[in-house]
Structure 1
Amino acid sequence: MTITYEWRGDFDNASLNALHADGFGSPVARTDWRTRVSRHSLGWVCAREDGSLIGFVNVVWDGGAHAFLLDTVVAAHRRSRGVGAALVAAAAGGARAAKCEWLHVDFEEHLRSFYADVCGFRETAAGLIAL
């Protein structure tokens, strides 16, 4: 089975909501992802296998040099097979093509190895305020 990756790939809200529920272990939401990414994103990457959405990452930006990864998700049954790394690589390529100079990501501690070791992010000092 071949997995394809598409920058600014087409998707429907129901499929992405189902993927998020599967990937993050949450109930299926009714988020209007199409409107959200159209308003706020530089782009996004869809991973598909046999027509099914199995991965997604959103790339938001500041309109200039900085892009940010959000909502990286891979279907539970496709994890540990390189899908996430390929999503991030495609996102980096899309941001690079848009002339961004930096790609940022925030992650929880259990994802440190994925982002640092697998995807090549280096750690930087950062701050966070819970709102």
Structure 2
Amino acid sequence: MNNVFAETKFDCVDRDGNAFTAELQFGNIVPGPVRDGITESRLDMSLEPLFPERGMRGTDSFQAICLAIEFVRKALRAFVAHGGTVYYHQSQTPIDLDDYAFTPISEFIDPRFLAGPPSEYWRRVQESEESGEQ
């Protein structure tokens, strides 16, 4: 992609447990044709390997950027809805898909409460709730 002006990475795990890094790029924003007195702007974007380079159009460059960000959000939501997980790059902390900046969900929680598998006590509580025991 030419003239990349914004980029980031997300660490992902698909529903089969395969880990990969998705690289988001925005670039090459150009004014488009004027039709019926309305100007368009086109922005190139990609989120490899989830989707290849494609164009996003808006009435101006700001709207094209906003639409591209929302398109990325929807693509990541679809990935998660089908069993995938999206992490903040190099953190193993899931991102908040509703956050304006895709920040980690638990960035303010002390890491000792997030690390490792759930305790045996927690598993027993969950199993008893699922089976209806008290």
TM-score (norm 1): 0.32
TM-score (norm 2): 0.31
Q: Structure with the greater relative contact order (CA < 8 A, sep ≥ 6): 1 or 2?
A: 1
Q: Which has the larger radius of gyration?
A: 2
Please state which structure has a larger fraction of its residues in strand.
Answer: 2
